A and B are shown apart, each in its own frame.
Chain A
């Protein structure tokens, strides 16, 4: 029986894709985890126009400097990672909680499940948090993560990356993503990076080396700007030539 006020439903693969599709078989992990039923298109109510807010006092000063969280210094190339968090209207998002996690310089996560035969670093946990300032800017000091092998297919390696988590202004704007480094030779072989169908969109996840962000005699600098907005679902248009 048809419900009295049925919502529209749309298969995930028919949505215009800023984001990757749920099912991307080259990334083996999606095969048994990607929902296959069409998504229910829900109009926004107050529940979707709101979302968590964090303020000063939520964090410690060393949360944004991953090289100063232990007694000694971590090994690896010290880097600054900074950028602006903007709304889709181009306005800076202030007071946004930005959370990051990453492998150490040898390509090993401090996590029980990571059994890659590379050394742990007693001076590196790989976890950082900060709030954006009035200009929407966040800034972390960390070390360049290493590439590492994973079990997706024979001789699979992940490009160097840092995981990012952001909230946006409301529940639909929540984003978890990964930031990559310019010129990584592993890009063509990584199904997670290539799950984003549009090459130009994919490039938005590649940070830029920026000399102005470097700290002389101390750390190289990479810029990664982030734009958050509702994922307004729009059915895919027929291909056409512009």
Chain B
């Protein structure tokens, strides 16, 4: 008889690449050749301002039409894409950099029916993180949608600015700061 009590978290440690990179997961949610492809990259930074070279970023998102590849999203009127899982993983490299190739998700509803701006859910793992921390990434070319996003409007302006990626040389740049000045806002979800 199993006791029904939650299993606690432990750190992924510095060797997470062995188990979590490769296999059925990838940092390419679509192929480079997909005409809708967007590139997202950023640095994972610690409280001393140094890059975190042994971390991992995960993203979870709706498809371009705004539907999640999950049974709880049963909005039949919005198409699913068989090949699009909505999930991506990138280890950080020796310079703390992570990178994804994906599509911009469509808008999905908030609990009260208002539309959220296009966004990615972002999970962060690393040696020194005893549990995952979670944040969101928004898109810089969605000013009107961002201005009415139920999450962004509930944050301070400088927090909001840090959750919106910057357009930079054909990519989106999104840094995650774990601690200290300019710390990314993390959510309890």
The A contact surface, by secondary structure, is: loop
The residue in B54, B68, B178, B188 that gathers the most chain A C-beta atoms within 10 A of its C-beta is: B188
The B contact surface, by secondary structure, is: loop
A165 touching B19 in the complex, CB below 8 Å, given contacts A20-B8, A20-B131, A47-B121: yes
A90 touches B4 (CB 8 A): yes
Indicate whether B10 reaches chain A with its CB closer than 8 angstroms: yes
B residues in contact with A1, CB < 8 Å: 157
Indicate whether B14 reaches chain A with its CB closer than 8 angstroms: yes
Please report which residues of chain A, range 83-97, place their CB below 8 angstroms from some CB of chain B when the two chains form the complex: 84, 86, 88-90, 97
Please report which residues of chain A, range 8-30, place their CB below 8 angstroms from some CB of chain B when the two chains form the complex: 10, 15, 18-22, 24, 27, 29-30
A18 touching B8 in the complex, CB below 8 Å, given contacts A46-B68, A174-B123: yes
B130 touches A22 (CB 8 A): yes
B154 touches A192 (CB 8 A): no
A33 touches B178 (CB 8 A): yes
Among B31-39, B103-111, B138-146, B167-175, the stretch that binds chain A is B103-111
15 contacts between A and B (CB under 8 A): A3-B153, A5-B150, A22-B131, A30-B128, A33-B52, A35-B186, A43-B111, A45-B109, A52-B87, A53-B70, A90-B4, A165-B20, A176-B9, A225-B2, A231-B189
Q: Which positions in B face A, CB cutoff 8 Å?
A: 2-20, 22-24, 46-48, 50, 52, 54, 58, 60, 62, 68-73, 85-87, 108-111, 116, 119, 121, 123, 125-134, 150-151, 153-157, 178-180, 183-189
Apart from A18-B5, A22-B133, A99-B20, what 9 extra A-B contacts exist at CB < 8 Å? A35-B183, A35-B184, A45-B109, A51-B60, A52-B85, A109-B15, A171-B60, A177-B7, A231-B189
